[in-house]
Homo-oligomer: A and B are copies of this chain.
Amino acid sequence: MLLKIDTADRRSIYQQVADGIKTLIASGDLREGESLPSVRQLAGDLGVNLNTIAAAYRELQAEGLIAVKHGSGAMVNRRSGPRPSGDELRRPLRTALTGLVLAGLERAQILGLVGDELETLLKGVK
């Protein structure tokens, strides 16, 4: 698992973990049916408490991205779950773009950054 905790990140630890795994799923680094590390192992690897990882897995499960089975671990489960609304999708994008504009980036630079990140995410897609 290529995850790292960044203490400078304002997000909570469990949220960083959940977001990181979402990105791995979106990019295809974690494929449907693939197993996630056990709560205990990931907690050990990242140096955080077991409950913190459990909270991250719980969020992913609630969003339908993974299936957690008592006694047998968690598996990627790309599928339905409640679909976020249009607003919920647009809001983070607007916030991210606002940050880029305020940082002084030009339109072209922003589009470059977006393309860059998007390629990374979609690299697994032909």
Contacts and interface: CB of A to CB of B under 8 A. Distances in A.
Contacts of A121: 94, 97-98, 101
Per DSSP, are chain A's interface residues mostly helix, strand or loop, or mixed?
helix
A74 interface: no
Given A98-B121, A117-B94, A82 B84 contact: no
Interface residues of A, number: 50
A39 interface: no
Contacts of A99: 22, 84, 88-89, 92
A56 interface: no
Given A95-B92, A96-B95, A117-B90, A84 B103 contact: yes
A12 B69 CA distance: 8
Contacts of A105: 89
Contacts of A110: 118
Contact of A70 (B12, B22, B91): B12
Interface in A52-90: 62, 65, 67, 69-70, 78, 82-84, 87-90
Interface of A: 6-9, 11-12, 19, 22-23, 25-27, 62, 65, 67, 69-70, 78, 82-84, 87-103, 105, 107, 110-111, 113-115, 117-118, 121-122, 125
